[in-house]
Amino acid sequence: MRCNPKKIITLNLLMTGVLFMSAPVFAFEQEIAGEMHVGDAGISETTAQIMAREAQPRSPRAPQRLRPLHRMREINPRQFLAQFPQAPRIARFPLHRTFDGALEQTEQELRSPQAISTSFTGATLSEDPLFPPDSMGAVGPTQFIVAINGIIRSFNKTTGLADGAINADTDVFFSSVRDGGFTSDPRIRYDRFSGRWFIIMINVPNNFNNNRLMIAVSDSGTITPSTVWRFFFFNAGTNTFLDYPTLGIDVNALYIGGQIFINHGNDLGSSKGYVVRKSSILGSGPIVVATFSNLININTGVGPYVPQGVDNFDPGATAGYFVAVDNAFFGRLILRRVSNPGGTPTISANIPLTIPTTQLPLLVPHLGNTNGRAGLLDSLDDRLFMAHIRKGFLWTAHNSGVNNTGLSSSNVTLTRNACRWYQINLSTSQPSLRQVGTLYASSANNDSAQRYYWMPSVMTSGQEHMALGCSTAGSSENINAAASGRLANDTLGTQRNATLFTSSSTAYNPSGDPGDAQGGRRWGDFSYTSVDPCDDMTMWTIQEFCPSTNIWGVQICKLLAPPPATPSTALPSIIAHGNPSVNITISGISSSGSGFFDPGASFGCRLTVSITGGVTVNSVTAITRTSFKINISTVGATTGAKNVTVTNPDGQSVTANGLISIT
């Protein structure tokens, strides 16, 4: 049923939690079993067959402004929400005190910790006349695959050039399981555990009722003409419409959340979560799905608004997660834990987590707008855009309106948008916040002429560095894409200043999307940042920007990690000639986040060491980010000082001259 704002505001406060912790009362409630459904077997097609169908004559897509079901044709009811009473009015957590005892809230005046590397445009409005594109794409072993509304396209990740392996309309790609209407809302993942690509979309029938969730699974990590795709689907529900599906993947399952609309898309019903048994779709099927309905409490309004499925990189994971903002309050997140996700799943009751105060974001001004308020850019709302778990911590991010100090509350004047991100500790019995940061334009005055940051997605690497990708614009700025982030040892709650990785110089006033006074022009609606499955240290982000007059584009950017530490000492440093096995510990000096890194035996790219003068390196073992151990053979080597070159898995190298000597 549709949420009643009055019920939301008058929520029984016995349900509330404590600051930065979930309420213990929920931990003891009985878990709920999902409704199990065994669907059809998969339909198999090769990439070559899909591309042959793509080559058949058909009418081109007409320009289309996709219906914004998430705004429900009227004022967003979330604007009536109260702040959660215990939510603190701070821009970051934890706060730190200066030498005089005052609370320090300024951001680190440093550039993004990842260097901008390969950057290329994945698609533009000139090729794909849909508004918005739903910016989505992910990196794999050899390719970056863009999956937006209307286009699935593969690129060589080394050159940034389209490789021609797949370049298909999404309606064509999913035609074997599409039930009329058109495709929308793509999500894509490369799954390092199975070595497969997963792509999901919904179909949108003309009557906005009884739609399908469609899933495509590849049989290879590199997409070629001979790659076999298996297509599956399940119905989202009876007399309902699933909108804005999210996706998370771990070793056990796919976690797909979304909002349910009723009355042919006119009214918001509740939230649903679907857990797809991964083993059921790695072969021919049939697909096995557990459905968790009515995740929002009909009486209190408490529950996950647009539940975000959570990715998890832990091969030993035994539980899955959904996470979302609370449907009943600003200043609170809701987690739902899934037990036995690879078998017969059950889901926990709401696990609430208090966060610093938040608000709905503002419509976004941009330089050259010619249509007043209707021409502003859609900032969607405060839903989460993606989430992942790394080493027991859950990371996620979303939009929030803020003032000039980064505060976001009902009793401050909001003048810009910010990207708010969270690191949540899941290793204890009750989830808690480790840190919270806010990427925003700080200024002396609380005016509205500053840069807006919105549509964020965050990812962390095996080194525990974080990258954040987003869109930027302002009344004096064109629309661009940006990256920010933090190093693992940066002060908690801080991130580096953003770096633009596009350079738009044109205005955005497309005739196909004149906008409207309530919601502006469509933008987003998605954002994604992924980590390279070969080295677990390079990160990639795909974001929307304005490449030329009245044209949207999606830009892919490769973000390089800091280089290796500089080797400084070797112990021992003098080794006898003719020794077949000698262990040496090499230590280095770290600067600006530099460090040695090895992702582990399951990855294709590893930490390597080479030594001049015929010295053979038998093995390399990482110890810390400033030390590693090597085993070498000096049989057949020449005598004298030798240079040691250390190469991180991403190919960046550092050489220390004369670090060891063979006698």
The secondary element (H helix, E strand) that includes residue 33 is strand 32-33
The CATH number for 650's domain is: 2.60.40.10
Of 62-76, 306-320, 543-557, 628-642, the poorest mean pLDDT is in: 62-76
Q: What pLDDT, on a 0 to 100 scale, did the predictor assign at position 60?
A: 84
100, part of any domain:
no
Average pLDDT of the residues in 101-120: 69
CA distance 62 to 542: 25
pLDDT greater than 80 at residue 120: yes
What's the pLDDT band for 95 if we cut at 50, 70, 90?
Answer: confident
92, part of any domain:
no
* Last residue in a domain, options 354, 386, 415: 354
The secondary element (H helix, E strand) that includes residue 295 is none
The secondary element (H helix, E strand) that includes residue 71 is none
Distances in Å between the Cα of 468 and the Cα atoms of 63, 121, 461 are: 31, 18, 12
pLDDT greater than 50 at residue 108: no
Query: Cβ(394)–Cβ(323) under 8 Å?
Result: yes
CA distance 462 to 607: 13
What's the pLDDT band for 12 if we cut at 50, 70, 90?
Answer: very low
651, part of any domain:
yes
pLDDT greater than 90 at residue 117: yes
pLDDT greater than 80 at residue 116: yes
Q: What pLDDT, on a 0 to 100 scale, did the predictor assign at position 65?
A: 84
424, part of any domain:
no
For residue 257, the cross-strand partners are: 273
Q: What pLDDT, on a 0 to 100 scale, did the predictor assign at position 79?
A: 83
Total residues belonging to the chain: 663
pLDDT greater than 50 at residue 4: no
pLDDT greater than 60 at residue 393: yes
Q: What pLDDT, on a 0 to 100 scale, did the predictor assign at position 6?
A: 30
418: helix, strand or coil: strand
Q: What pLDDT, on a 0 to 100 scale, did the predictor assign at position 75?
A: 55
Share of residues in the chain with pLDDT > 90 (%): 85
Of 23-32, 165-174, 221-230, 537-546, the poorest mean pLDDT is in: 23-32
Q: What pLDDT, on a 0 to 100 scale, did the predictor assign at position 5?
A: 33
Q: What pLDDT, on a 0 to 100 scale, did the predictor assign at position 20?
A: 54
Q: What pLDDT, on a 0 to 100 scale, did the predictor assign at position 110?
A: 66
| Model pLDDT for residues 299-356, shown as the tens digit of each residue | 999 999 999 999 999 999 999 999 999 999 999 999 999 999 999 999 999 999 999 9
Domain residues for 648? Answer: 566-662
CA distance 166 to 225: 8
| Model pLDDT for residues 222-262, shown as the tens digit of each residue | 999 999 999 999 999 889 999 999 999 999 999 999 999 98
User: What does pLDDT average to over the chain?
Assistant: 92
157, part of any domain:
no
| Model pLDDT for residues 498-526, shown as the tens digit of each residue | 999 999 999 999 999 999 998 999 999 99
Q: What pLDDT, on a 0 to 100 scale, did the predictor assign at position 99?
A: 45
Of 18-27, 196-205, 302-311, 371-380, the poorest mean pLDDT is in: 18-27
pLDDT greater than 90 at residue 267: no
Query: Cβ(278)–Cβ(253) under 8 Å?
Result: yes
* Last residue in a domain, options 333, 354, 375: 354
Share of residues in the chain with pLDDT > 70 (%): 92
Q: What pLDDT, on a 0 to 100 scale, did the predictor assign at position 69?
A: 60
410, part of any domain:
no
Q: What pLDDT, on a 0 to 100 scale, did the predictor assign at position 26?
A: 41
What's the pLDDT band for 654 if we cut at 50, 70, 90?
Answer: very high
pLDDT greater than 60 at residue 419: yes
CA distance 47 to 307: 32
Number of compact structural domains in the chain: 2
Query: Cβ(386)–Cβ(457) under 8 Å?
Result: yes
pLDDT greater than 70 at residue 104: no
The contacts of residue 293 (CB under 8 Å, 6+ apart) are 35, 237, 260, 270, 272
64, part of any domain:
no
* Last residue in a domain, options 329, 354, 379: 354
pLDDT greater than 50 at residue 106: no
Q: What pLDDT, on a 0 to 100 scale, did the predictor assign at position 98?
A: 46
247, part of any domain:
yes
CA distance 554 to 543: 5
Q: What pLDDT, on a 0 to 100 scale, did the predictor assign at position 570?
A: 98
Distances in Å between the Cα of 130 and the Cα atoms of 66, 70, 181 are: 7, 17, 15
